[in-house]
Chains A and B, each alone.
Chain A
Amino acid sequence: MAAPLTENQATGVIGFWPWFFQRISGLLLIALLAVHIWMGHFSGLRAVIEGSQEELVLYSIVQQRLAQGLFVFVDFSLLGLVLYHGLNGMRNILLEWPAAARRAQAMTLGLWVLGAATFVYGAWALLAFIL
């Protein structure tokens, strides 16, 4: 069987595993995001409905929430997964652009470095609420 003549042939980059983990991470994100958004914004709903919550959400409230054991776990896994899913998605989009596909390896490496650095930075920020 002859190989097709293509513009970005031999890039060897859009493989099975990125595709597979995009789906797995997306599935996990549903649960994590539900907890994250609910706890962050709507856990005070009763107070809002009863009109008893006059104040804005400020440090003390956020700190109380974020230091809870469940939330610590949810937020650190969320940070890692959402970075993987989001940057893997960006990679998928960029690879449909032949100029980027030709430099696929460098781009993938760059995205991993960006993701890792952002994870460290985000984790550092989160630690302020726990410690």
Chain B
Amino acid sequence: MALSLRTWSLHGSASPDRNSGTRAGWWAWFLQRLTGVALVGYLFLHILVISTVQAGEDTFNSVLIVLQKPFFVVLDLLLIAAVVYHGLNGVRVLLFDLGIGLKQQAGMFWICMVLTTIITAVAGYFSLPLIFRN
């Protein structure tokens, strides 16, 4: 019974006489975990990429040129979304640890989602020249 996959089951309906809500807290946690693990993976890649500088300026530049191709710029935007969500929800969790906002937890999750979307969209807008470059 160690790892119960049923934990992850998503089906379910909110009903009026049960205060079950939208499962916002579950999604907040799941996304925190998902983005956390993804960011750790990215961290190691990032260090690896930067370290190519030790092989010389030319090697470093050829790597940077590839990483600024549109495909990778779009990946960068996903990265921004992950960092921003994880950071915002991290603050949400920190507030809970101070005893703040426990009753508003679902609303706070939606605030995190909206802010993540807005910030990613702004970053995306400024990245347009890099994505549609010829």
Contacts and interface: CB of A to CB of B under 8 A. Distances in A.
Contacts of B76: 41
Given A98-B2, A121-B51, A89 B64 contact: no
B90 interface: yes
Nearest to A98: B2
B125 to A, nearest CB: 10
Interface residues of B, number: 31
Nearest to B58: A59
Contact of A42 (B47, B54, B126): B126
B94 A23 contact: yes
Interface string A21-40: 00100110110010001000
Interface in A30-87: 30, 33, 37, 41-42, 45, 48-49, 51, 56-59, 62, 79, 82-83, 86-87
Contacts of B43: 82-83, 86
Interface string B31-52: 0010011011001100100110
A93 B64 contact: no
A19 B97 CA distance: 11
Q: Which 10 residue pairs are nearest across A and B when measured between Cβ atoms?
A: A125-B51, A86-B40, A122-B47, A128-B53, A26-B90, A98-B2, A59-B57, A58-B61, A125-B50, A89-B36
15 contacts: A27-B94, A30-B90, A59-B61, A59-B64, A82-B43, A86-B36, A86-B43, A89-B37, A90-B36, A97-B2, A118-B44, A118-B47, A122-B50, A122-B51, A125-B53
Interface of B: 2-3, 33, 36-37, 39-40, 43-44, 47, 50-51, 53-54, 57, 60-61, 64-65, 68, 76, 80, 83, 87, 90-91, 93-94, 97, 126, 129
Interface of A: 7, 23, 26-27, 29-30, 33, 37, 41-42, 45, 48-49, 51, 56-59, 62, 79, 82-83, 86-87, 89-90, 93, 97-99, 118, 121-122, 124-126, 128-129
